[in-house]
A = this chain, B = another copy of it.
Amino acid sequence: MSDHAHMHSDPDAALERAERVCRSRGARFTDQRRRVYELIVRAGEPVTAYELLHRMGADGTHPAPPTVYRALDFLQAHGLVHRLASQSRFVACDHPENGAHGGVFLVCDRCGQAVEWQDERVARAVARSAREAGFRLGGEVLPEIEGTCGDCRDG
């Protein structure tokens, strides 16, 4: 870490992988879902739903908001993208294959880049806190943390 933005993850490979994930679950990876997913992957950084919306209409005809939000709901449900609540943005998951996403999202407060950093210790510490507090954890544990990334610090 960390090359600034977009170097990693070949979009074509990601699309293939997504297709595989969907097929293995009997979920349909439709055109709209593919378009949205591809835009997110190619963006290489967190993007808003409306950015996706506008990019989908390169031909001149934008879909309506629900189209994008529905695709996003689907992609999230299948672990292909994550929503960054603190930014109201969406980002592709680095490793959609495995269900467990123990770690943190490190979000740069300067460039906006978000890194999904795997770390079991965070997940374990959170799980422990939850138990002590009498909470049972729900789905994903993927805290969003603000900071400044190396590139933005160094220049």
With an 8 Å Cβ cutoff, the count of chain A residues facing the other chain is 38
Give the number of copies in the complex: 2
Q: Is A91 part of the contact surface with B, judged by Cβ < 8 Å?
A: no
Instruction: Report whether over half of chain A's contact residues are helix, strand or loop; otherwise say mixed.
Output: mixed
A146 to B139, CA, bound (A): 8
Of A18-26, A32-40, A45-53, A103-111, which stretch is located at the interface?
A: A103-111
Q: State whether A148 touches B138 (Cβ < 8 A).
A: yes
Residues on the B chain within 8 Å of A144, using CB: 85, 143-144
Instruction: Give every chain B residue within 8 A of A12 (Cβ-Cβ).
Output: none
Q: Mark A123-155, 1 if CB is under 8 A from B, else 0.
A: 011101110111111110101111111100100
Q: Are A104 and B121 in contact (CB under 8 A)?
A: no
B136 touches A148 (CB 8 A): yes
Nearest-neighbour CB distance to chain B for A118, whole angstroms, equals: 9
Verify if A68 is at the interface (C-beta below 8 Å from B).
no
